[in-house]
Structure 1
Amino acid sequence: MLNEKLSGLELMKAMVTGDFPHPSMADVVPMKIISAEYGKVIFEAMADERHLNPLGGVHGGFFATVMDLVTGCAVHTTLEPNIGYGTIDLHVKMLKAIPKNTRLIAESRVIQSGYSLGISEGSLRDEKGNLYAHSTATCMIYRDK
């Protein structure tokens, strides 16, 4: 959803306080933003029985979805009102299996935000600091011409 009055950072902060709804993807992959500042966001996420692969482990799509959302939102914090973005490249390194029903912390920071591209990196850890995934993303920034 593109909000024409709020900057990306204002929108993310409004999600933190509950004054703006979370993205509907957060209903499919349980995620909640807990912190936002310029160029950086932190979400919490949790895989459950809905996110398992045929072998009973957490599906790789869970990793990718969490990392796509968090890296994109970090880029969003750098954008002015009425500016959109979309992920055009996402690299996710899955380092170890995610346990289900465990609170995870997804954090992302912007590496570069320019006129047409935003680049960010992210990590997915448990509360003890164990690293489960690392990602980089490139987002196309859409501006009115």
Structure 2
Amino acid sequence: MLQKVRFLHTLFEKAVNGKGFDRFLKNVQILSYADGKCKAQFTVTEEHLNAIGTLHGGFTSSIIDVISSYALTSYQTGKPAGASVDLHVTFLKAAFPGEVVTVNAETIRAGKTLAFLAVELTKNDGKDVVARGQHTKYLVPIKK
């Protein structure tokens, strides 16, 4: 388990401190990571907003993609999580600046070539669902 946690820490640090797109994670905190699950949290700030002042759908989709991929790495042996095949997001409620959003991702099933993950973003201590996501990933075969 410690190896998996180290893997996530390294992956997360590279993302946050890198020059690529994953820098959007800089204000996201990983709360837990184990057994095919990953829980994260962030406070909605100006950088997360769309033109009407609510949590941007692109940010929501990206956080679903990344946190579910982290959940998958904890399910496997701490290896990279493969490639996205499908990402479906249902937006249910707006989130506003200052609100704390919790992201719960879970590996539903991982076979030889595909993994299926579910994600829920909530606010108000889980009382309100902001969005739900379903993520399918292709698992890259590991050469022996």
**Which category describes the TM-score, using the shorter chain as reference length?**
0.7 to 0.9
Match of 1:136? 134
Q: Report the residue type matching 2:105 in the other structure.
A: S
Q: What amino acid is the match of 2:57?
A: G
Residue 35 (structure 2) pairs with residue 43 (structure 1): no
Greater fraction of residues in helix: 2
1:82-120 CA deviation, whole Å, 9 max, x = no partner? 554122211111101011222211001111111111111
- What is the identity percentage for the equivalent residue pairs of Structure 1 and Structure 2? 24
Distance 1:28 1:54, change over 3 A: same
In the superposition, relative to structure 1, how do residues 99 and 56 fare at CA in structure 2: closer, same or farther (>3 Å)? closer
The 8 Å contact of residues 45 and 66 in structure 1, kept in 2 or not, is answered as: no
Runs of 4+ in structure 1 over 6 Å off = none
Shift of 1:22: 5.9
Give the 3-state SS of the residue equivalent to 2:87 in structure 1: strand
Q: 1:84 to 1:36 in 2, by over 3 A?
A: closer
TM-score, L = length of structure 1:
0.79
Who is 1:66 aligned against?
A: 63
- Aligned pair count reads 136
Contact 1:86 1:141 in 2 (8 A): yes
Q: Structure 2: which 5+ runs fail to align?
A: none
Aligned partners of 1:52, 1:38: CA distance in 2, in Å? 32
Tell me the residue number matched to 1:28: 24
Does structure 1 retain, via aligned residues, the 8 Å contact 2:36–2:76? Answer: no
1:12-46 Cα deviation digits (max 9, x unpaired):
3xx2xx8x726335632421211011111101123
Deviations 1:48-91 (A, max 9, x none): 11122222222111211111111111112122355541222111
Give the TM-score normalised by structure 2. Answer: 0.80
